[in-house]
Structure 1
Amino acid sequence: MSNNPLQENKMGTLPVGRLLVNMALPMIISMLVQALYNVVDSIYVSQISESAVTALSLAFPVQNLQIGFAVGIGVGVNSLLSKSLGEKNQENANKAAGNGIVLMLICSAAFMLFGLLGVRPYFEMQSTVAETVEGGIVYTRICCLLTLGVFIQILFERTLQATGRTLYTMYSQAFGAIVNILLDPILIHGWLGLPAMGIAGAAWATVIGQWSGALLGLFFNLKFNPEVRFSLQTCKPDRRIIGPILAVGIPSIIMNSIGSVMNFGMNQILQSFTETATGVFGIYFKLQSFFFMPLFGINGATISIIAYNYGARKPERIIKTLKLSSAAAVTLMSIGLLVFQLAPDLLLGRGALDNSVTEQ
């Protein structure tokens, strides 16, 4: 425990520019790996059939909604936990983590219910192609019924971020993504003597990767994060704790939900043209994550630094953090705009683009 004061004061003492880089860079790297596995999923699934790619695109709004709820709750926990540590309020910090677990369990139960009862109506209202509907149902049902993995993974990543241990966040998230990437071809195509599972294999690779990251995140929190102490007592629902978590988390959830609703609406429109259009739109969304995911990394680091220094009553560090993170975000999004405007054929693959035009 001798190094506790140093860790507690890290976000209140290091120069802001250096602190933002140290905290954001590991998260950006892990987010880029996360974006890569989304694209790898599409590459392997595209080898099954065009309908399989479309099924994945139609499932994306549900997956995005899962992540939106998990990140929203995680952001709320991160904010309250960092603020409590800045105030040196250990009890509130522990309760923030414990009540975060309760909220994650509630959200997971809602998505599991959707996996049991809502998946078929969801796909049947979007497509009349049997292969697309059945493939989407199989994929989404597996992801929803085992959704607790992604909720727990994101919660444990946020508790590590809140105490400035973003390197461990990178390890846990990258580990889950790499497990997913390695399992994709094995489970989809039936390598190493395993049966070929097709689109179900992609779903199993996804949830196994999520649970792998969650378990590693749990290990890192128990072993290397002494500022946060988990216990059954801290998991007891407390309105004084849940209120601030939701006050910060709900706006984030709404923003992600709007994106999912927009994605769902666009899929409905594009399905009236061809399934190829829906598939291409889904691939575009996964490609743009190479720019949005790093932005989420900057965002996560910014929230932790601001919340800690708000609790420690250091407004000058808050203002400087906002200026630096805003400049970094604008620069990143400007680069993304240029890439998508100047090189769309390279992003999608000229051959694949030509094939789609020929089919239409």
Structure 2
Amino acid sequence: MKHAIDLTRGNILAVLTKLAMPIMATSLIQMAYNLTDMIWIGRLGASAVAAVGSAGMFMWLASGFTTIARTGGQVMTGQMLGAKEQERASLYAQNALQFGIVFALLYTVVLVAFAKPLIGFYRFNEASTVRDAIIYLQIVGGGMVFSFVNMIFTGLITAAGNSKTPFLATSVGLVANIILDPVLIFGFGPIPALGAGGAAIATVGAQIIVTLMFVRYCLRDSLLKRVRLFSRPDGACIKDIVRIGLPSAVQEMIFAGVAMVIARMVASFGDAAVAVQRVGSQIESISWMTGQGFASALSSFIAQNYGAGDFHRAKKGYHTAVSIIIGWGLFSTALLVFCAGPLFQIFIPDETILPMGISYLVILGYSQVFMCVEIVASGAFSGFGKTLPPSIVATLLTAARIPAAMWLSSTALGLDGIWWSITISSILKGIVLAILFWMYERRLARAMPQSKQEQSTVSI
């Protein structure tokens, strides 16, 4: 399998880093992909940023459905590869793709047909914001299947120990987006200025290019060239995929739903406040998207090693990953707290909005280490096939943001109270999940036969 890494052998730090670096780079590229939109759209004003940000929330909600196929497919495919069951691994990959495509098509119909009432949820004050949001949502929604397929392909290819191909494909997509964004947003020669709609077209066009690159790879890959999308789905495989992926998917959808409610609360402070949240969250993604990339690598590492019966190597991989991600979290905190002003002005060069942007970044900056630990611990649980514990913790504490935001924003903190509700919940999630995983690994170690523990070899 081209570019694949056997995750069950070799120095743990070297193997995990080799797998994680392209994934982290892919996450950073995805972040740059989103920030590129924000830089150009920010030149249209806060209203356009609020419009794209609100429509983007529904894309985030869609990722919950993708998570079922991506997480379930990645974990089961990884475990089958670790157990040297190549045909079963290909079958799980096939069913994950079939499942994801069906949901993508259904979600597309909903977004395109009901864009107006969906955007109406935010109760924007300006008609231009509503108009741009509807246009953006319908166009991006129409290309939803490409976004779904790309995320699932990334998970499946990573499960095989190949993180280089998703990195290259995403990089090409970013370059395409960088070229298309200014041309379609502001116009060039005979091409008219399309504003927010142009940003949406650029995004979908870039996603199509990435999909074509993945398809080209699949035709030569020993795992994915066996996939037959039009064959009958396997009920047992779908059941396993849903069992593994559903808890994480519910968590993701609730997280997105809570974010939408929070965004509606933010909108009560004005459309500019929504723009601040949108831009601020994209800047903050320097930590959480990197954390998710590292968690994906860790999930594949643990899945293969656990499938091969080497619990201790899997556990050591988690501790190695946590030590690395804590360092990244500290760097992110320093960046957001001490460089908030210059960072925010890159995207919205409006002095009247700058104080709100600085407050957002500084307050959210204090939670970055804990958020990174939460994400990596969730990835570790996922690799063991235990997606329910992190989903319960994340769901409860994320939902708690709503009453906390309502209470804190009613105090003298005002809008900052909403930002503090997000930071406090992130800190609590990181602490609780770290403790739960520590308890889980101790229980799993006690359940292993002593002879198996003695046979396990760990190198780092």
TM-score, normalised relative to structure 1: 0.92
For the aligned residue pairs, the C-alpha RMSD in angstroms reads 2.2
1:78 matched residue in structure 2: 74
Residue deviations 1:98-156 (CA, integer Å, cap 9, x gap) = 10111111220232122233211111231242111111000011111210011111122
Contact between 1:93 and 1:228, CA under 8 Å: does it hold in 2? no
Taking structure 1 as reference, are residues 158 and 235 closer, same or farther at Cα in structure 2, changes over 3 Å only?
farther
Q: How does 1:99-248 map to 2 (within 5 A)?
A: 99-126=95-122, 127-223=124-220, 225-232=221-228, 235-248=231-244
**In structure 1, what residue type is equivalent to 2:222?**
P
- C-alpha distance 316-182 of structure 1, shift in aligned 2 (>3 A): same
Offset of residue 301 of structure 1? 0.8
Q: Which has the higher contact order (CA 8 A, sep 6+)?
A: 1
Return closer, same or farther for 1:20/1:343 CA change in 2, 3 Å cut-off. Answer: same
8 Å contact from structure 2 (residues 67, 246) kept in 1: no
- Structure 1 residues 284-293 or 332-341, which shifts more? 332-341
Distance 1:176 1:135 in 2: 24
Structure 1's 242 and 184: CA in aligned 2 closer, same or farther, altered over 3 A?
A: same
Q: Counterpart of 1:45 in structure 2: which amino acid?
A: I
CA distance in 2 between partners of 1:160 and 1:124 (Å): 39
Retained in 1: the 8 A contact 2:5–2:160? no
- Preserved contact between residue 27 and residue 298 of structure 1 (Cα < 8 Å): yes
Give ranges in structure 2 of 5+ residues lacking alignment. 357-460
Preserved CA contact (<8 Å) 1:142 1:203:
yes
Q: Deviations over 1:49-90 (max 9, x none)?
A: 322111012112112122343244212111111111111212
Post-superposition CA distance 1:177-202 (Å, at most 9, x none): 22112110011111243121111110
Q: Is residue 320 of structure 1 aligned with residue 316 of structure 2?
A: yes
State the alpha-carbon separation in 2 of the partners of residues 222 and 290 from structure 1: 33
Alignment correspondent of 1:274: 270
**Within the alignment, does 1:53 sit opposite 2:53 as a pair?**
no
Distance in 2 of aligned mates of 1:72 and 1:297: 17
Conserved? CA contact 1:35–1:290, under 8 Å: yes
Question: SS where residue 31 of structure 1 aligns?
Answer: helix
| Corresponding residue SS for 1:95 | helix
Task: Give how far 1:331 is off.
Answer: 2.5
Which structure's residues are more often helix, by fraction?
1
Q: How far did 1:236 drift?
A: 2.3
Equivalent of 1:298 in 282, 294, 308: 294
The range that moved more, 245-254 or 233-242, is 233-242
- Evaluate the alpha carbon distance shift between residue 357 and residue 29 of structure 1 in structure 2; reply closer, same or farther with a 3 A threshold: closer
Q: Which moved more, 1:312-321 or 1:112-121?
A: 112-121
Most deviating of 62-71 and 212-221: 62-71
Describe the shift of the 1:165–1:128 C-alpha distance in structure 2 as closer, same or farther (beyond 3 A).
same
